[in-house]
């Protein structure tokens, strides 16, 4: 789009003493004549660009007009780039790529080396080790993201925790990344209430012409309302020292107490659901539920069922 090119030219001129029309034309893949028209448009907008003729000529902005870069610190720019890059790992949106380049262009020359070094020293990848990027899941994310932005309802088959499929029509409101998984916060037409749906459990996704109700509450409002409704359960777990590395990764350090024999006591609170049981089971023989007794019984019964499966094997 022309407006993106005009903005990009202004950003470049704010960070360079001078640049030629031919260099700009090559960068934006347009003709030199188009660049001159762009410069005229920028001048008409009130930004004073001077054209200097000759071998060392080019365009530049009058020095006393240039914006003070200190409005954004280097740390601000790094944070913006990190946020945009993380978002674009799922969207792969060219507009986000353009935005990233615009921010990069306003990094002062004297700080460029430090800026580049930061991104050489840190990389964010949300996929577990050994997992490859799934194009199908990325496409699902893009479709839902577009539906949220366009405010269109969507429909899909949803697999619940019992592996049963139900057809759902929902008003998509917010995409939520939590615990290494993407969820859709939405208003479910079937339940006539707000619900979270895990993207990986959705199949046969369709975007509908039907529009969402503009009066729905936001994700933040929903969380604030439900904070007062949900009562967490106190859970006390005893872990073997063999899984210390996992305990340190998964629990708040203030909830962890190391015992003299090296075992670990975790005293914490959870909103009780199947996820809590699965999390406890994932530690196998290296965890014991001390409290509450009803969760201890649930885990014991699940282990009995697992034992029955393997006892019947020949």
Domain count, the chain: 4
Residue 190 falls within a domain, yes or no?
yes
Residue 111 falls within a domain, yes or no?
yes
Tens of pLDDT, residue by residue over 15-42, are 777 889 899 988 888 888 889 988 888 8
Q: Choose one of 227, 253, 281: the last residue of a domain.
A: 227
- pLDDT (average), residues 282-304: 94
Asked if 250 and 263 sit in the same domain, the reply is yes
Contact between residue 187 and residue 173 where contact means Cβ atoms under 8 Å apart: yes
pLDDT of residue 134: 64
Asked if 189 and 243 sit in the same domain, the reply is no
Query: Does position 68 have pLDDT exceeding 60, yes or no?
Result: no
Q: Which of 56-65, 189-198, 296-305 has the lowest mean pLDDT?
A: 56-65
Q: Which of 2-16, 210-224, 248-262 has the lowest mean pLDDT?
A: 2-16
- pLDDT (average), residues 134-145: 82
- Whole-prediction pTM: 0.57
Q: Which of 111-115, 163-167, 182-186, 213-217 has the lowest mean pLDDT?
A: 111-115
Asked if 139 and 204 sit in the same domain, the reply is yes
Distance CA 206, CA 201 (A): 14
Q: Choose one of 180, 209, 227: the last residue of a domain.
A: 227
pLDDT of residue 67: 52
* Paired sense of beta strands 49-52 and 193-198, if any: unpaired
Distance CA 111, CA 164 (A): 55
pLDDT of residue 174: 93
Query: Does position 224 have pLDDT exceeding 70, yes or no?
Result: yes
Confidence of residue 13 (pLDDT cuts 50, 70, 90): confident
Measured CA to CA in angstroms, residue 4 lies from 8, 46, 50, 89, 99 at distances of: 6, 17, 21, 22, 9
Expressed as residue numbers, the domain containing 144 is 135-227
pLDDT of residue 66: 56
Check which CATH number belongs to the domain holding 258 and give it. 3.30.70
Residue 104 falls within a domain, yes or no?
yes
CA atoms within 13 A of residue 28's CA, in its CB half-sphere: 24
User: Which residue, 183, 154, 156, is CA-closest to 170?
Assistant: 154
Residues 6+ apart with CB under 8 A from 13: 19, 49, 59, 60, 61
Q: Choose one of 227, 262, 287: the last residue of a domain.
A: 227
Asked if 139 and 223 sit in the same domain, the reply is yes
Query: Does position 91 have pLDDT exceeding 70, yes or no?
Result: no
Residue 129 falls within a domain, yes or no?
no
Name the average pLDDT for the chain: 84
DSSP E strand stretches across the chain: 49-52, 58-61, 152-159, 165-178, 181-188, 193-198, 202-211, 233-239, 256-258, 264-270, 287-291
């Amino acid at each position: 789009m022309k407006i993106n090119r005009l903005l990009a030219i202004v950003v470049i001129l704010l960070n360079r003493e001078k640049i030629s029309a031919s260099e700009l034309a090559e960068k934006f893949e347009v003709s030199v004549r188009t660049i001159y028209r762009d410069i005229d448009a920028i001048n008409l907008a009130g930004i004073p660009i001077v054209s200097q003729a000759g071998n060392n000529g080019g365009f530049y902005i009058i020095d006393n007009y240039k914006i003070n870069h200190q409005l954004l610190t280097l740390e601000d720019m790094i944070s913006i780039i990190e946020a945009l890059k993380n978002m674009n790992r799922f969207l792969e949106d060219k507009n986000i790529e353009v935005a990233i380049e615009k921010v990069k262009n306003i990094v002062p020359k004297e700080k460029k080396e430090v800026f580049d070094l930061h991104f050489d020293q840190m990389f964010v990848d949300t996929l577990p080790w050994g997992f490859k990027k799934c194009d199908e899941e990325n496409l699902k994310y893009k479709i839902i993201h577009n539906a949220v932005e366009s405010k269109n309802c969507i429909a899909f088959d949803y697999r619940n925790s019992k592996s049963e499929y139900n057809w759902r029509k929902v008003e998509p409101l917010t995409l939520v990344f939590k615990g290494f998984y993407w969820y859709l916060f939405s208003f479910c037409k079937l339940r006539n209430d707000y619900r979270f749906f895990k993207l990986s459990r959705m199949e046969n996704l369709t975007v509908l012409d039907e529009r969402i109700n503009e009066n729905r509450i936001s994700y933040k409002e929903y969380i604030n309302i439900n904070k007062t409704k949900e009562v967490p359960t106190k859970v006390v777990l005893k872990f073997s020292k063999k899984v210390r590395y996992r305990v340190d990764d998964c629990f708040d350090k203030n909830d962890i107490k190391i015992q003299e024999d090296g075992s670990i006591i975790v005293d914490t609170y959870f909103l009780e659901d199947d996820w809590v049981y699965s999390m406890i089971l994932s530690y196998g023989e290296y965890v014991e539920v001390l409290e509450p007794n009803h969760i201890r019984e649930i885990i014991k019964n699940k282990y009995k069922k697992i034992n029955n499966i393997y006892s019947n094997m020949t």
